[in-house]
Amino acid sequence: MNSIILRTATNYILPLLLMFSVFILLRGHYLPGGGFVGGLIAAVAFVLHMFAHGLEKTRELLVIHPGYLLPFGLSLALLSGFAPVFFTGEPFMTGVWMENPIPVIGKVGSALFFDLGVYLVVFGVSLTIIFTISEDA
Amino acid sequence: MELLLAITIGILYASGIYMMLRRSLVKMIIGLILLGNGVNLLIFLLGRLTKGSTPIIPDGLDTFAEAYADPVPQALILTAIVISFGLQAFAIVLIKRVYKVVGTDDLDELSYNEDDETI
Amino acid sequence: MTQLILLPILFQACLAVLLLFFYTKTKTQKVLSIAGSSVNLVIASLLFYTVWVNGSMSVQAGNWSAPFGITFVADTLAVTMVLLTAIVGFAVSVFSAFTIARDRLRFGYFSILHFLLMGLAGSFLTGDIFNLYVWFEIILISSFVLLTIGSEKKQLEGAVKYFALNMLASIMFLTALGILYGLTGTLNMADLSGKVAALENRGLVNVCALFFFIGFGIKAALFPLYAWLPDSYHAPPTAVTAIFSGLLTKVAVYALIRVFSVVFVVDEFFSQLFIILAVITIFSGGIGALVQTNIRKFFSYLIICHIGYMIIGLGLFNEIALAGMVFYLIHDVVIKTNLFLISGVIVKIKGTSDMRKLGDIYNDYPKLALLFALSLFSLIGIPPLSGFWPKVSLILGGMEADNYLTVGFILFGSFITLVVVAKLWAQVFWKSSANLEEHEDFSYFNKLRKRRKVAILFPVVFLTLVTLYIGFGAESVNTLATRIAGELINVQPYIDTVMGK
């Protein structure tokens, strides 16, 4: 697609969308949102970039292949599940929370790391799928 | 509202199954997507359509203070949506590959050659 | 201690993720997979031993008490299946390390294999019916990838059929779940047990049970829903087909057993339905196998044929028939995996799986032929090998229910198995083979180095030994099967374990 409006707009929208995706990720604990939606929004940001500038440019922008994020995301999610087993001896996946809140961020718990893992996995998977489909379309 | 949803679910199921019975691969996948959406709506409907607050019991009480909305159906539907997202993505890649290798979109023309076996 | 229940699932998950980190290093993947499968065997045995000694256990993932949280239950049936999964997983892991071509391994074959094993362990151990659906989907997605990896033409063609019918089965399953949740408001199987029994609207309960039956029936390849199985199982590499045939249809049988013992009751109608469909399944699977010329399609029809035996056991639903069913399940998982591994070795020797061209195996490899014969005889059920004992229990169960027609069909099924196996033996082992043209890029068995030959045969020997143990140690396996049958008839202990009473 060769539209100067889309290309110019994408340059501004991409960082905004990424920021929004992180906002949605953090909002997810009490309100609608979370890792899955956040990851999808982040992926959509790059898909938009791909529409405007072409697949090659997006690949350059990403530096690494998004598929490489999968094992990291999966292990983060898995390790967050193990946290209660190691720290408090409760069953797998029990929520563990910090005693004292960190300034600005607030209380951090194992659920946040699980969501972060999901975010990475969803981001990696959706981009890998879309790149594969559009590669030789 | 229930009646409307019930009719919608019926239409989704009927058209999904109709599409699956066609011979085209693309229509088969559209059929599966429609069926999947029908199921999600079915769970939504059968989880009771109620307006209410979050199902959290206030401090100092033993039961819910007011009418609450059941949180389980939305968790079930979300899980089902995520799973069907993955499966549909796989399906699209699969039919694209099938079309490239076999060169047809017609299910009837998918026949295999038994002679070239590999391990 | 109860944390041990989750270990088979979590170990496979960690292993699969670890293998993803070595995505391009196929050598490391092989070593990790084999080592991991051996460790998993130890874990599964430990879990089995613990449950055998201490009785059923349950754990609430996330520490939300039942029925609100997701429960994992290890009763005797579940841990037996987990142990079988570990045994089969180990054999297949070794077999794939030495037979699957490198250009398939490069696409994360081992990682997906261990995700599949994780899904299997999860579906055996879960006590929540929606969670069962999720594990089924994990199995399904992994099996799609294993089925299509390499994207040969016939693989893709098989995959389309496999995909369409299994997706339909999942949708049926999910529909049933939706109705069940609407009726009872819970998804915990132990909790459902009492609530479903108390429902007034029996018509809707039966419709819901039928949806479950159709969904699992497609996955278990029951008549008339089995057409996808022979069309897709012959396509992927033998190691993949081996694990599919050993466990994927059986996990659906397991789900049927679980749902129809804990949640629903096998009443007159379902008993009739199960027995009629099972009998037709035995019949059509056997007849289907008679006319096949491809050795792997031949075994695929035998899978269908023998699914019938287990469903007959479920339909009769008395203690001795259930014990026979469980025994048959244990026997079938091991023997079917082994048969496909054997077919893989035969293809490796001759370069084809077409029975018209095969032959001379007995002449060229008498010792191997003897090894294969042990498995084939166990399959038919020649005493004292493993297929014999469960059939005795099933026949006794049929007699106890005064259902002599069923008994007749069980005997007919064994007879037809005997006929087709005799045909296979004559065609593949005795007949002198036609002159086969040699493939260029195919590593034939006799050209392999000795170490590799041993490595390829090791899983076959291992599974044959397990089969022999099931046959000659029938006493102990029967004790196990009877104990499981008792747990299936009286589900109160299961419910108490989950609810923490």
**Residue C83 burial (CB count, 10 A):** 23
> How far A98 CA lies from chain B's nearest CA (Å)?
22
Which residues in chain B are contacts of C157 at CB distance < 8 A? 98, 102, 110-112
What pLDDT sits at residue C501? Answer: 62
Residues A129, B82: C-beta atoms closer than 8 Å = no
Q: How do residues A41-79 score in pLDDT, each as one tens digit?
A: 999 999 999 988 888 888 888 888 888 889 999 999 999
- Among A29, A31, A36, pick the best mutation site for testing chain B contact (most B Cβ within 10 A): A36
Greatest C-alpha distance within chain C: 69
Range of the domain at B16: 2-51+68-108
> How far B113 CA lies from chain C's nearest CA (Å)?
7
Residues C164, B86: C-beta atoms closer than 8 Å = no
> How far C164 CA lies from chain A's nearest CA (Å)?
20
Angle between helices A35-53 and A55-62 (to 10 degrees): 130
Residues C160, B107: C-beta atoms closer than 8 Å = yes
Strand-pairing partners, residue C58, are C73
Name residues whose C-beta falls within 8 Å of residue C198's C-beta, 6 or more positions apart in sequence: none
Which residues in chain A are contacts of C58 at CB distance < 8 A? none
What pLDDT sits at residue C448? Answer: 78
> How far B51 CA lies from chain C's nearest CA (Å)?
17
Q: With a cut of 70, which residues of chain C have pLDDT below it?
A: 1, 434-441, 443, 501
Name residues whose C-beta falls within 8 Å of residue C159's C-beta, 6 or more positions apart in sequence: B94, B98, C144, C147, C148, C232, C235
Q: How confident is the model at residue A1 (pLDDT cuts 50, 70, 90)?
A: low
Alpha-carbon dihedral sign for residues C418, C421, C423, C426 = negative
Residues B95, C175: C-beta atoms closer than 8 Å = no
Residues A133, B86: C-beta atoms closer than 8 Å = no
Q: Which chains does chain C touch, 3 or more C-beta pairs < 8 A?
A: A, B
What pLDDT sits at residue C436? Answer: 67
| Cα-Cα end-to-end distance for chain C | 17
CATH of the domain at B81: 1.10.287.3510
Which residues in chain C are contacts of A82 at CB distance < 8 A? 10
Which residues in chain B are contacts of C130 at CB distance < 8 A? 76, 79
Q: How confident is the model at residue B119 (pLDDT cuts 50, 70, 90)?
A: very low
What pLDDT sits at residue B117? Answer: 45
- Residue with token string 């792997």: C296
Give dist(CA C50, CA C74) in Å, integer: 10
Which residues in chain B are contacts of C358 at CB distance < 8 A? none
User: What region, left, alpha or beta, does residue C108 occupy, with left being phi > 0 and alpha being psi -120 to 50 degrees?
Assistant: left
Residues A78, C10: C-beta atoms closer than 8 Å = yes
- Residue B97 in any domain: the answer is yes
Give dist(CA A52, CA A4) in Å, integer: 8
Which residues in chain A are contacts of B92 at CB distance < 8 A? 133
Q: pLDDT at residue B23 above 90?
A: no
Give dist(CA C240, CA C237) in Å, integer: 6
> How far A19 CA lies from chain C's nearest CA (Å)?
28
> How far C273 CA lies from chain A's nearest CA (Å)?
41
B97 touches chain A (CB under 8 A): no
What pLDDT sits at residue C258? Answer: 93
Q: Which of C17, C23, C61 sits opposite A91 (nearest CB)?
A: C61
Averaged pLDDT for residues B38-53: 86
Q: Which of A125, A126, A133 sits opposite B96 (nearest CB)?
A: A133
Residue C71, H or E segment: strand C70-74
What pLDDT sits at residue C273? Answer: 93
Q: How do residues C291-302 score in pLDDT, each as one tens digit?
A: 888 888 889 999
Which residues in chain C are contacts of B115 at CB distance < 8 A? 354
What pLDDT sits at residue B118? Answer: 44
In chain C, what are the domain boundaries?
Answer: 2-435+442-499
Which residues in chain B are contacts of C351 at CB distance < 8 A? 117
Residues A74, C20: C-beta atoms closer than 8 Å = yes
Which residues in chain B are contacts of C344 at CB distance < 8 A? 119
Residues B47, C182: C-beta atoms closer than 8 Å = yes
Range of the domain at A91: 4-135
> How far A5 CA lies from chain B's nearest CA (Å)?
30
Q: How confident is the model at residue B116 (pLDDT cuts 50, 70, 90)?
A: very low
Q: pLDDT at residue A137 above 60?
A: no
What ipTM was predicted for this assembly?
A: 0.90
Which residues in chain B are contacts of C158 at CB distance < 8 A? 112
Alpha-carbon dihedral sign for residues C229, C231, C236, C242 = positive
> How far B3 CA lies from chain A's nearest CA (Å)?
28
Give dist(CA C485, CA C472) in Å, integer: 21
Q: Which of A78, A90, A91 sits opposite C17 (nearest CB)?
A: A78
Judge if the upstream peptide bond of residue C224 is cis by omega within 30 degrees of 0.
Answer: yes
Tally of structural domains, chain B: 1
Tally of structural domains, chain A: 1
Compute, in degrees rounded to 10, the torsion defined by CA atoms B21, B27, B30, B35.
0
A125 touches chain B (CB under 8 A): yes
Name residues whose C-beta falls within 8 Å of residue C469's C-beta, 6 or more positions apart in sequence: none
User: What region, left, alpha or beta, does residue B106 occupy, with left being phi > 0 and alpha being psi -120 to 50 degrees?
Assistant: beta
